[in-house]
Structure 1
Amino acid sequence: GGLSIAQRADHRRRSRKRERTHSHRMDAFAQGARRARAADAAIASSAHDHRRDRFTIALVLSTIAIACAAMTMLSAAGKVDVPFALGLARGRGARGGARGGAASASALPRLGQAYAGGGSATSASMASTATADLGAYTVGGFRRITTPMVFVSLGTKADNERVQQSLGKLITRGHMTSDELKRLVTVSHGVDATAWPANTHLVEYAVKDIRALSREQGKTLMDLPWLQIIDLSKQHENGMLPVEWRRLSHHVGCLYAHLFQWQLIKEKGFPKAIIFEADGVGVSDLPFSAMQEAIDRMPADADVLFTSFGNNKGGPLHHSWNSKNEDGSPVKVNMYHWNEFNAVAGLQSYVVTQSFIRKVQEFIAHKGADMVDAWLLGKMCVVGRDADWNMRGMTEGFEIVGGGPILNCYHATTWT
């Protein structure tokens, strides 16, 4: 019943052969699996590298774009950041900035300093020439903006993003070139009153001419409502906003911020300038395609033109004209007198003239101020019931005959 020795030997040989064959097959399978895993790993690595490269490219492009926008804004800020830097970058500590008095005129930036590639054009006549040369520029049948613009930012991330978006809109929707941005746009600092005394050098610059005018009348800022706040802060050892004013800190900062822009525009010698708060472009009643034409159509007696109050007309219609939206579609623009009381607030977008600044500073030096938007819109532009809100008894040239408003104010809008 058993196998012969020869048969058993043959059986063992065949078994070993089958084992070797199976082993070879398993080795081949394992090698194939390893090769497949290696191929998968290579594909995954390649895909990862591809994604990483795409991300890197996108990041680089995004960084370049942000850097370009930042350089645009920083170039603009070079025009006005000098007074901001007086208490910080130039070595004067925060308290030094608070105690150091007004920013000197020599410390202020000059027209074209940053945007013109380092050139210097310091006179008012050169300022008007720089903008007049652009006066005939049109695109798509409408006038590009050629009036100097000031964007106000507190320097926060949110404000800076809003300003950056606004600058982008000027390029994409307003068809402005980078050279025009450099020539016409200034990015300026707002005033955060809760940060006093770190930024009170901005306030000192804002009130320096008002302080001088009040001194000529035998007054100090302590005699003037709202203007006295900066001097009240100096009576405290820490130089902070006085406690009794802290609940109104936003309104205090807003007043001094706008005073700062008016003083800056005055020293620049711009005949007219558009002031945008950080979000002002988004709430303006006028498309970019109609803005310059509205400025060109300002009446000869206009001191200020508001552009952000929608269908709150402000007074009787002065005149209308046909214009174009940014897409070329027709739009009607209405310009109204702003001489009636309206329940509105905010100064997100408006155009000032040198006569506006002269009248306002002269008035403040005699009477003081108030919450800047309600004060301008409801007092300075409107025939007030309060007899104290007039220019009588002030310097020659500011007398108001017949009790009219102190300022000649207008409102341009595409709302009906």
Structure 2
Amino acid sequence: CVRSRFLARRADHRRRSRKRERTHSHHMDAFAQGARRARAADAAIASSAHDHRRDRFTIALVLSTIAIACAAMTMLSAAGKVDVPFALGLARGRGARGGARGGAASASALPRLGQAYAGGGSATSASMASTATADLGAYTVGGFRRITTPMVFVSLGTKADNERVQQSLGKLITRGHMTSDELKRLVTVSHGVDATAWPANTHLVEYAVKDIRALSREQGKTLMDLPWLQIIDLSKQHENGMLPVEWRRLSHHVGCLYAHLFQWQLIKEKGFPKAIIFEADGVGVSDLPFSAMQEAIDRMPADADVLFTSFGNNKGGPLHHSWNSKNEDGSPVKVNMYHWNEFNAVAGLQSYVVTQSFIRKVQEFIAHKGADMVDAWLLGKMCVVGRDADWNMRGMTEGFEIVGGGPILNCYHATTWT
């Protein structure tokens, strides 16, 4: 009986031992699997970190190479050996913040303009300046007239502006059916003006106002006598050459005015009879599809100085005429052209067409009376008989062949909005 109990206890002990061994083995297997998973995760993280470091090194190497090349080109440019292309600011990165510090510069001292889209799906420096003129001869594709009028895109050279311009150029190809060669001939990517970067880019401002400065001198005036135009000369009174403190809260509007003055001077010197000016995002906010843009330009009245294309259903004045056109997909669309001679609460100059008469009138007027915030000034003062009599009195219009204090400019607005 004693032996039987002993054998039973020993058998029970063996069963428990075997059970403990099985449990321990199971736990060891789970631990080993977890360890393997952890090692795999660590290896993946290490591999990802290695790839990230390699990519950062590659980017740093590319940027360093570009910086060295740009520095070399800048030195060569300063020595008069080579022009430095602006080309969407991709080479310089800082765009309007670059350039010689302070002082005046002639047009020949500026970075060469007219750099265009070089094809292949990306914007690069093109070796040729735009030589297109408005009389290249319109032609059709897909039943609508392709754009043949020179275009100027304004970019500060920032990453955001570069991306917007690239997207706009892409739309000209995909929706406007333009080739890269046509973009080279017709598109100029031009400088914007960042007033907070003064004096690093005041050479751009000097270029923008050079003809206005000469015209005001003929009248016995200086820029210091002209509202808003005096800002550039006020900055020279400070040792650091920066935008005066009292104007810094309006730095965006200051830069915008001088940027548009820059484009007008550029178009004047290139001799384009007409040119489309797009701010970096202007293509996306235009009221006209690409299929109707050239036809609207061709239909501008003979007395037109400027045609606005980005104010939607804000007509601007009475209807001048309408015509049937086509959307980019071939569907019919009606285009309306209105006089812009009534006050409208709008802002912005994202997309508009200028003529040589516009530039002549505006520069002569500014040299006589100065300017203001460029969009409100053009849209609400120069194009309409405003509520402020000082802007429209008879003496102000002398030399502009306008009778009775009418608008300084003949302005129109084309839109597919109804």
Normalised by the length of structure 2, the TM-score is 0.74
Q: Deviations over 1:74-115 (max 9, x none)?
A: 999999986979999999999996775433133357887878
Task: Please identify, of 266-275 and 79-88, the stretch whose mean Cα deviation from structure 2 is larger.
Answer: 79-88
**Alpha-carbon spacing, 1:60–1:217, altered in 2? closer, same or farther (3 Å):** closer
Question: Whole-Å Cα distance in 2 between the matches of residues 88 and 191 of structure 1?
Answer: 16
Displacement of 1:269: 0.5
Conserved in 1, the CA contact under 8 Å of 2:102 and 2:200?
Answer: no
C-alpha spacing 1:10/1:240, structure 2 compared with 1 (3 Å): closer
> How many residues are matched?
412
- Structure 1, residues 137-180: CA drift from partner, whole Å, max 9, x if none? 21101011100001011111001000000000000000001110
CA drift of 1:334 comes to 0.2
Q: CA deviation at 1:134?
A: 3.7
Q: CA deviation at 1:72?
A: 20
What is the rounded CA distance, in whole Å, between the counterparts of 2:393 and 2:133 in structure 1? Answer: 33
Residue range with higher mean Cα deviation, 309-318 or 95-104: 95-104
1:201-226: CA deviations, max 9, x gaps? 11111111111111111111111000
Cα offsets for 1:312-370 (capped at 9, x unmatched)? 00000000000000000000000000000000000000000000000000000010000
Equivalent residues of 1:303, 1:352 under 8 A apart = yes
2:323 counterpart SS class: strand
Work out the percentage of aligned pairs sharing the same amino acid.
99
**Range with greater deviation from structure 2 (27-36 or 188-197):** 27-36
1:390/1:400 contact within 8 Å kept: no
User: Which blocks of at least 5 consecutive residues in structure 1 are unaligned?
Assistant: none
Q: How has the CA–CA distance of structure 1 residues 287 and 41 changed in structure 2, closer, same or farther, with 3 Å as cutoff?
A: same
> Residue deviations 1:105-144, cap 9 Å, x none?
3335788787899999999999999445642321101011
CA distance in 1 between partners of 2:397 and 2:8 (Å): 137
Change (3 A) 1:296 1:207: same
- Which segment is superposed worse, 309-318 or 85-94? 85-94
In the TM superposition, what is the alpha-carbon distance from 1:274 to its structure 2 partner?
A: 0.4
The 1:223–1:82 alpha-carbon spacing in structure 2 relative to 1, beyond 3 Å, is: farther
**Distance change (3 Å), C-alpha of 1:71 and 1:14:** same
What is the RMSD computed on CA atoms of the aligned residues?
Answer: 7.8
Q: Distance in 2 between matches of 1:292 and 1:206?
A: 27
- CA, structure 1 residues 378+155, in 2 after alignment: closer, same or farther (shift >3 Å)? same
Alignment of 1:235-274 (within 5 A): 235-274=237-276
For residue 232 of structure 1, what is the aligned residue in structure 2? 234
- Whether contact under 8 Å (2:321, 2:336) holds in the other structure is yes
Conservation of the 8 A alpha-carbon contact between 1:210 and 1:365: yes
TM-aligned CA deviation for residue 192 of structure 1 = 0.7
Provide the rounded CA distance (Å) in 2 between the counterparts of 1:117 and 1:71: 23
Runs of 4+ in 1 over 6 A off after TM superposition: 5-81, 83-99, 109-129
Structure 1 length normalisation: TM-score? Answer: 0.74
Q: Shift of residue 390 of structure 1?
A: 3.7
SS at match of 1:402: coil
- Greater mean deviation of Cα atoms: 42-51 or 187-196: 42-51
Say which SS state the counterpart of residue 351 (structure 1) adopts: strand
Q: For structure 2, list consecutive stretches of 5 or more residues without a partner in the other structure.
A: 1-6
User: Is 2:339–2:413's contact at 8 Å kept on the other side of the alignment?
Assistant: yes
